A and B are shown apart, each in its own frame.
Chain A
Amino acid sequence: MKVEGQIRIPSGCAIAAVISKEGKKMSGEKIIDSMKPMHDRSNGLGGGFAGYGIYPEYKDFYALHMFFDQRATRKNCEVFLKERFEIVKSEIIPTRKIPSITDEPIIWRYFVSPLKSVLASMQLDEKEFVARTVMQINTEMHGAYVFSSGKNMGTFKAVGFPEDVGVFYKLEEYQGYSWTAHGRYPTNTPGWWGGAHPFTLLDWSIVHNGEISSYDANRRFIEMFGYKCTLQTDTEVITYIMDYLIRRQGLTLGEAASVIAAPFWSTIEDKTNREDKEKHMYLRTLFPSLLITGPFSIVFGFDGGLMALNDRLKLRSMVVGEKDDKVFIASEEAAIRTMEPDAENIWAPAGGEPVVVRVKDGAF
């Protein structure tokens, strides 16, 4: 049977997220709990988490989280990395043995900084270099896979139910100002750890619930710009689209949301603010191939914030709630209530309406 990457596997999902606007740190415990009431939205074939602000002592270094199939692969890969990066720390990612998570690969993390000489000779900026290197390892180095590559953030994922994955990775030992979580219901059994979510590139991480119908149109467009969709998942392509729009094209989060969940032409025509109308006309005409159709709800994590977004028809459930300095996002209200029984202002954002939450400046 073909595994993920050789074939496109649709899946349903559960997502959840929490962020402190004050930048207050939370352990991973709450976010693990949030996935419990949504157990039936996953089927044990993939779960994962992303935490931001979790590596303060290494915050200036890219944290590469990696899976290896065997020791030899890791050794080879380390040689490759040393030619390109200064590695300030390399270690096994701590895990605990539990019966519900089996067949784990070798899981390792490196805190790295690109070698200046290499950057200069390739005439690339740091982020572009890291992104390309990650893409190169994932497409060319058999048995090695980078599943997280941002600064002061990290992804933790596995084949299993999300609540078990959280325990496996000892997430209660990490402290972050924002967390996202994902439980997966793929309609097939790839049994591959890399296929679990969140999907990340640099600081961007995405958890996503849905199955987009525009997938191949999006993929074939974004691959023109050096991205390689090796997993054939929606999450992967959406991450690359966001990276392209925000980092490479310099769009704001709101503008990027207007590209991927563009308002209908009729809505744009009815706009009375001329500038707003022009902007939407422009973005839709310029990036037609990055419009995403079909159901999706995503939480997009970035350095210092989160953005939640639904497809323009709102074909997937997603609710937002608040309590004090915290904002909660989840597929179901029950997940929010688990994190914060007294959550207030629970509301369902309209289709295509981005909800952006940022940590206040200088808070971390």
Chain B
Amino acid sequence: MGVEFIYPEFEVIRNDNRCIACRVCERQCANEVHFFNAERGVMMSDETKCVNCQRCVSLCPTRALKIVKSDCKLRENANWQDDTIKEIYKQANSGAVLLSSMGNPKPFPVYWDKILINASQVTNPSIDPLREPMETRVFLGKKPDKVKRDANGKLLCELPPQLELSLPVMFSAMSYGSISYNAHESLARAATELGIYYNTGEGGLHEDFYCYGKNTIVQVASGRFGVHKEYLEASAAVEIKMGQGAKPGIGGHLPGAKIVGDVSRTRMIPEGSDAISPAPHHDIYSIEDLRQLVFSLKEATEYKKPIIVKVAAVHNIAAIASGIARSGADIIAIDGFRGGTGAAPTRIRDNVGIPIELALAAVDQRLRDEGIRNNVSLVVGGSIRSASDVVKAIALGADACYIATAAVLALGCHLCRTCQSGKCNWGIATQRPDLVKRLNPDIGSERLVNLVKAWQHEIKELMGGMGINSIEALRGNRLMLRGIGLTEKELEILGILHAGE
């Protein structure tokens, strides 16, 4: 205590008139905040451990609990803000790198919120999605430059491998290990029911989930965890993970404590050993090396599966994407700096990378300027929060969107941003069996299906309003967008006009 003490961030407010001392909160809080004082016959709390995950609040039968931000503050200082000072205390206490999770929470501009969508009036009709067909199906993959015919002039209808999606939304990579078995099962089942894909992340594919293979994208990351022949064969597509929006330029670290039982088997590493993914792939030090890995994976999968290359949105993303588009990859996935993560160094999460909106606009335009946009499909993530974000992303030029934070929110995540602790009270970012079983995959997959179906309805409404009845006609259709409160430079990069123009 004393110099090491940091006043808790949250206060647990218990309405004693309502509390019936049922001790539900005590059982529900893996952080052991709540305890029963037998002597006084009341519930008490140790708020130093509270992460504001809202689990106890959601389960308290008498609504006796609420968690509020503590108002015990240091003296105000615009330069030395509360958080900044407390981070210094923490580091002085521990001597360690600060860790955090989920996406960048800092008040950087969210460009999605500064872009407005068009609608038809008078000169052309809007289309009612309840009365007319409204198509959201997309195909991801390379589109050849030239139509081919046989000697008799008949079209040769062969295409490179394509991923068919019922709507341009997929569940982004989250590894088994960083999230639970039940979370993976929920994602796999929902993707199958929706006719889309989920992504294994870098932790391998649990043997129970091979049956969902045709809706599964498997990842090959720098640690190569869980990569073997059957794993590649089970999938619909293979993703090479070069980077992640939440922590561009660095690898991953899943602590040994989480490498237990099935997780260790699936990753193919001993129990209790730390799973460390190196920052770079040690066989990829340049673009020509990437090409070799792309083709190794194509060889291994007999050219039947599209290869995705996932990169973090960094400063020269347009040039990087142009290199990838010429590497043989079929799809480029770009992850913006607001993308989530199970654990990342705070400084990196909050300061490295660029917004996905700008990266997407720059990449799409660059690939078109070079005439190679057809070589690859573009998938963007980090962070896509709603159907309107999807519509804006497609109109800026994306072929599809990756969602992960939105998906775990649907599973119950309350964005407490402490996944790195492994004590997720919602059964998502944890391997503790008692916590994992809180997430029922029947309910989880249903909630995911609900979410995506709801978005699909909204996407159709927005499209109908613009007089567009097929999502292909929205892709790259930047005239459907206008910026609001943006500078000339921002508009130029986004390739859109300002509202009123």
A residues neighboring B (CB under 8 Å) = 8, 10-12, 187, 210-218, 220-221, 223-225, 249-251, 255, 262, 264-266, 278-279, 281-283, 285-289, 291-295, 312-313, 315
> Considering the chains assembled together, what is the distance between the CA atoms of A256 and B162 in angstroms?
22
Given that A225-B371, A282-B157 are contacting pairs, would A213 and B468 also be in contact in the complex, using a CB cutoff of 8 Å? yes
Give B127's nearest chain A residue, CB to CB. Answer: A313
Which one of B138, B155, B467 lies within 8 Å of A293 (CB-CB)? Answer: B467
Which residues of B have CB within 8 Å of A214?
468, 472-474, 477
Which residues of B have CB within 8 Å of A212?
124
Interface bits B360-371 vs A (CB < 8 Å: 1, else 0): 000000001001
> Considering the chains assembled together, what is the distance between the CA atoms of A291 and B476 in angstroms?
13
Decide if B135 touches A216 in the complex (CB within 8 Å): no
Given contacts A291-B472, A293-B470, A312-B469, 6 further A-B contacts (CB under 8 A): A11-B123, A213-B120, A214-B477, A220-B397, A293-B469, A315-B124
Which residues of A have CB within 8 Å of B155?
255, 279, 282-283
B485 at the interface (CB under 8 A from A): no
B18 at the interface (CB under 8 A from A): no
Q: Which of B154-194 contact A (CB under 8 A)?
A: 155, 157, 159, 162
Decide if B478 touches A295 in the complex (CB within 8 Å): no
> Considering the chains assembled together, what is the distance between the CA atoms of A253 and B132 in angstroms?
27
Decide if A285 touches B162 in the complex (CB within 8 Å): yes
Give A211's nearest chain B residue, CB to CB. Answer: B124
Which residues of B have CB within 8 Å of A251?
147
> Considering the chains assembled together, what is the distance between the CA atoms of A287 and B125 in angstroms?
24
Decide if B147 touches A266 in the complex (CB within 8 Å): no
B149 at the interface (CB under 8 A from A): yes
Which one of B146, B159, B469, B478 lies within 8 Å of A220 (CB-CB)? Answer: B478
Given that A266-B133, A293-B468 are contacting pairs, would A286 and B159 also be in contact in the complex, using a CB cutoff of 8 Å? yes
Give A286's nearest chain B residue, CB to CB. Answer: B143
Contacts A/B (CB < 8 Å), 30 sampled: A8-B479, A10-B123, A12-B123, A212-B124, A213-B120, A213-B124, A214-B468, A214-B474, A216-B479, A216-B480, A217-B472, A220-B477, A223-B368, A224-B371, A249-B146, A250-B147, A264-B135, A265-B135, A265-B137, A279-B157, A282-B159, A285-B139, A286-B147, A287-B143, A288-B472, A291-B472, A293-B468, A293-B470, A294-B124, A295-B467
Decide if A285 touches B143 in the complex (CB within 8 Å): yes
Decide if A215 touches B147 in the complex (CB within 8 Å): no
Decide if B147 touches A249 in the complex (CB within 8 Å): yes
Decide if A216 touches B478 in the complex (CB within 8 Å): yes
Q: Which of B344-396 contact A (CB under 8 A)?
A: 368, 371, 373-374
Decide if B368 touches A217 in the complex (CB within 8 Å): no
Which residues of B have CB within 8 Å of A221?
368, 373, 476
Which residues of B have CB within 8 Å of A255?
155
Sorted nearest first, the 9 A-B pairs with minimum C-beta distance are A214-B473, A216-B479, A288-B472, A282-B157, A213-B467, A217-B477, A293-B473, A211-B124, A10-B123
Decide if A289 touches B476 in the complex (CB within 8 Å): yes
> Considering the chains assembled together, what is the distance between the CA atoms of A211 and B139 in angstroms?
26
B265 at the interface (CB under 8 A from A): no
B227 at the interface (CB under 8 A from A): no
> Considering the chains assembled together, what is the distance between the CA atoms of A212 and B159 in angstroms?
28
> Considering the chains assembled together, what is the distance between the CA atoms of A8 and B150 in angstroms?
41
Which residues of B have CB within 8 Å of A278?
157
Which residues of A have CB within 8 Å of B157?
278-279, 281-282
Decide if A217 touches B133 in the complex (CB within 8 Å): no
Report the minimal beta-carbon distance from B242 to chain A, rounded to whole angstroms: 26
Which residues of B have CB within 8 Å of A285?
139, 143, 159, 162
